[in-house]
């Protein structure tokens, strides 16, 4: 057993929740439990517990076992426009009653801290320019969602007064980042298509935004910081931006010309009111600013990423996502046919190498966890070419003296790769694709993430290996992987396989 705190995360499949989960798993500082409605697959990195809809009857006992901290990001954010439905009542069922039910059960389970992701809507919809909201500003929720969040806050703070539970309330401004939806996504879509949006003249408003990376970083800060308990925090990037400048940054990230039309804000507001869209116009032309001084002074927290770089990063991700890499149509059928045939034809070699491997090291197979498609782990199988006690590192970092006599022969003839045909047959790899890396190669994972390399199966060979590019140059390798993915066709598929069979390429060679 380890001594790490165990966290329960709700809303783990949502925009913010998935980003929290990714960060917690990457840091490795906490054991993580997530609550989901249905379990589609298990994970070695996360404990997954099935929990029914968030309401007063939800049983959290299994999910709360051993939990020290709850990060509650689940919420109802929409109610269908039905005249027979009371929106506020529907929001309250989940956001108020469901939240307080979880918090009360958390108290009984001995949970120490409860972090509640609220909303700036608790403060209101807008501010006067240069007069930001602070934690001391009088709450003024207007819509049913904002009201429900405020009522949940009050219930949690009351619970904190009467129990040992420490409550942290976070009110983020508009959250954006990779995979963002809603109005932010629409702005990127129309800007990328070259539509001349009539909001380029909205230059004299300021809005506080927060990138999901900054928000998650603040949430992580609040998990253990002693001064965060029983406090409310307003949070943003701390770089307020006008609507016109927002479009400029989106255009830069997309790499397109900004075609926004400079129509004065007052005309936009008049036109919007005439068609019943005044609330939309207000969000575009009005100001909404927050002061994050409390987070800075009390917790010593500073946003790590500026609004400008975060918007451009979000736009670049959107653009790459439009052209998400796809495997060649016949690639999987060809992989199955060739890997199955190869295993049968090469069976004498496989048996012989296994037998000699027992005499060489006593452990002929080398099995190692690698990063697969969609960054899911899988067990890569190769013939062992190094001593059993060799450190688990990328090939370019391995010590040449660790290679055994048999290993040198296997590497030179590339016979050490043969067992990977099993991975190909299982659907964990392809014959052609980016070489799978280790989970501890953070720089390479980041570079490949940006290039959408993990959208396809990793492979036994590929363009990078044949070009002599190894994992010591992450960005160069990721770009070459992307080039291969974008140009894959039958001709290249067979060309890469044939070139490898003829002994070309040394991308994974030990230096």
State pLDDT tens for residues 345-363. Answer: 999 988 988 898 888 888 8
Q: What is the pLDDT of residue 278?
A: 64
Output the CA–CA distances (angstroms, integers) from residue 304 to 15, 111, 128, 210, 239, in the order listed: 20, 29, 27, 11, 12
Beta-ladder partners of 211: 176
With beta carbons less than 8 A apart as the criterion, state whether 56 and 101 touch: yes
What does the block give as tokens for 73?
């990001």
The two beta strands, 365-371 and 174-176, are unpaired
- How far is Cα 334 from Cα 421, in angstroms, rounded to an integer? 12
Whole-angstrom distance, CA of residue 481 vs CA of residue 229 = 46
- pLDDT of 459 > 90? The answer is yes
| Longest pairwise C-alpha distance within the chain | 84
Q: Which residues pair with 18 in a beta bridge?
A: none
For residue 263, pLDDT beyond 90? no
Q: How far apart are CA 281 and CA 93, in angstroms?
A: 30
| Local structure of 158: helix, strand or coil | helix
Least confident segment among 59-73, 281-295, 318-332, 486-500 = 318-332
Give pLDDT, residue 275.
60
> What are the catalytic residues?
145
Res 214 pLDDT > 80: yes
pLDDT for res 277? 63
Residue 2 has pLDDT above 50, yes or no: no
Q: Note the pLDDT tens digit of each residue in 310-322.
A: 999 999 999 887 7
pLDDT above 60 (res 165): yes
- Considering only residues 266 and 448, tell me which one the structure prediction assigns the higher pLDDT: 448
Query: Can you tell me whether residue 367 is helix, strand or coil?
Result: strand
Mean pLDDT of 250-279: 78
- Cα angle for residues 71, 76, 79 (degrees, 5° grid): 175
Contacts 24+ apart (CB under 8 A), 153-158: 153/116, 153/118, 153/122, 153/232, 155/96, 155/99, 155/100, 155/103, 156/99, 156/100, 156/103, 156/114, 156/116, 157/230
Q: Say what the pLDDT of residue 242 is.
A: 94
C-alpha 39: how far from its chain's center?
19
Selection from 52, 11, 1 nearest residue 31 by Cα? 1
Task: Write the pLDDT tens digit of every residue in 420-452.
Answer: 999 999 999 999 999 999 988 988 998 898 888
Mean pLDDT of the residues in the chain = 88
The whole-angstrom separation of Cα 275 and Cα 278 is: 8
pTM over 0.85? The answer is no
Percent of the chain with pLDDT over 70: 90
């Amino acid at each position: 057993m380890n001594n790490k705190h165990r966290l329960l995360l709700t809303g783990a499949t949502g925009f913010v929740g998935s980003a929290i989960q990714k960060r917690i798993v990457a840091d490795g500082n906490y054991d993580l439990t997530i609550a989901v409605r249905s379990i589609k697959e298990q994970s070695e990195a996360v404990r997954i517990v099935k929990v029914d809809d968030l309401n007063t009857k939800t049983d959290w006992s299994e999910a709360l076992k051993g939990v020290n901290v709850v990060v509650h990001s689940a919420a109802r954010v929409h109610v269908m426009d039905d005249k027979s439905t009371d929106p506020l009542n529907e929001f309250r069922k989940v956001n108020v009653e469901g939240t307080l039910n979880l918090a009360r059960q958390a108290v009984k389970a001995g949970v120490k801290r409860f972090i509640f992701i609220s909303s700036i809507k608790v403060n209101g919809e807008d501010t006067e320019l240069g007069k930001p909201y602070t934690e001391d500003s009088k709450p003024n929720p207007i819509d049913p969602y904002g009201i429900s969040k405020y009522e949940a806050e009050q219930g949690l703070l009351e619970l904190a007064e009467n129990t040992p539970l420490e409550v942290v309330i976070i009110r983020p401004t508009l959250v954006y980042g990779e995979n963002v939806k809603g109005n932010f996504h629409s702005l990127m879509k129309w800007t990328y298509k070259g539509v001349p949006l009539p909001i380029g003249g909205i230059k004299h408003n300021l809005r506080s935004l927060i990138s999901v990376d900054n928000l998650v970083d603040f949430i992580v800060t609040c998990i253990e910081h002693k001064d965060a308990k029983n406090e409310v925090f307003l949070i943003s990037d701390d770089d307020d931006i006008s609507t016109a400048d927002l479009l400029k940054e989106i255009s830069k990230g997309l790499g397109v010309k900004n075609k926004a039309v400079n129509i004065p804000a007052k005309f936009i507001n008049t036109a919007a009111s005439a068609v019943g869209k005044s609330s939309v116009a207000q969000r575009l032309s009005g100001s909404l600013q927050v002061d994050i001084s409390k987070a800075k002074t009390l917790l010593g927290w500073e946003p790590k990423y500026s609004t400008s770089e975060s918007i451009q990063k979000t736009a670049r991700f959107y653009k790459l996502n439009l052209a998400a890499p796809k495997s060649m149509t016949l690639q999987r059928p060809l992989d199955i046919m060739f890997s199955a045939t190869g295993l049968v034809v090469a069976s004498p070699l496989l048996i012989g190498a296994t037998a000699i491997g027992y005499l060489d090291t006593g452990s002929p197979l080398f099995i190692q966890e690698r990063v697969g498609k969609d960054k899911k782990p899988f067990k890569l199988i190769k013939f062992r070419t190094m001593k059993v006690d060799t450190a688990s590192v990328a090939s370019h970092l391995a010590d040449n003296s660790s290679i055994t006599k048999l290993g040198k022969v296997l590497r030179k003839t590339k016979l050490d790769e043969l067992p990977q045909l099993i991975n190909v047959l299982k659907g964990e790899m392809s014959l052609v694709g980016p070489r799978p890396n280790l989970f501890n190669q953070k720089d390479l994972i980041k570079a490949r993430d940006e290039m959408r390399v993990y959208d396809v199966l990793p492979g036994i060979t590929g363009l990078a290996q044949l070009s002599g590019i190894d994992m010591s140059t992450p960005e160069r390798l990721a770009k070459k992987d992307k080039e291969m993915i974008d140009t894959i066709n039958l001709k290249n598929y067979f060309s890469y396989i044939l070139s490898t069979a003829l002994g070309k390429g040394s991308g994974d060679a030990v230096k």
